[in-house]
């Protein structure tokens, strides 16, 4: 027997308070705190639009978002 699932209407599901909701909000706040230019720095570098000679206007994001 094959079950066919249908999409739920937007806003029909609510995340209740708990550890998952806290982690989602923490992740959301972190992502919104990142600078767009810094997130695109590797793309700019590969496209030849940014070089390591140029001093960054703001702090570089480290970790996954850092230039390699």
pLDDT digits 0-9 by tens, 9-43: 988 988 899 999 999 999 999 989 888 887 888 88
For residue 11 the two structure tokens come to 């806003």
Longest dimension (CA), the chain: 62
**pLDDT tens per residue across span 49-68:** 876 666 666 677 777 666 66
* pTM > 0.75: yes or no: no
Residue 19's pLDDT is 97
Residue 22's pLDDT is 96
Helix and strand totals (H; E) in the chain: 3, 0
Residue 26's pLDDT is 97
């Amino acid at each position: 027997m094959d079950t066919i699932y249908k999409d739920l209407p937007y806003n029909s599901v609510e995340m209740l308070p708990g550890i998952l909701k806290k982690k989602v909000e923490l992740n959301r706040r972190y992502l919104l705190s990142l600078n767009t230019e810094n997130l695109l720095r590797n793309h700019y570098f590969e496209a030849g639009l940014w070089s390591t000679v140029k001093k960054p206007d703001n702090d570089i994001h480290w970790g996954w978002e850092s230039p390699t």
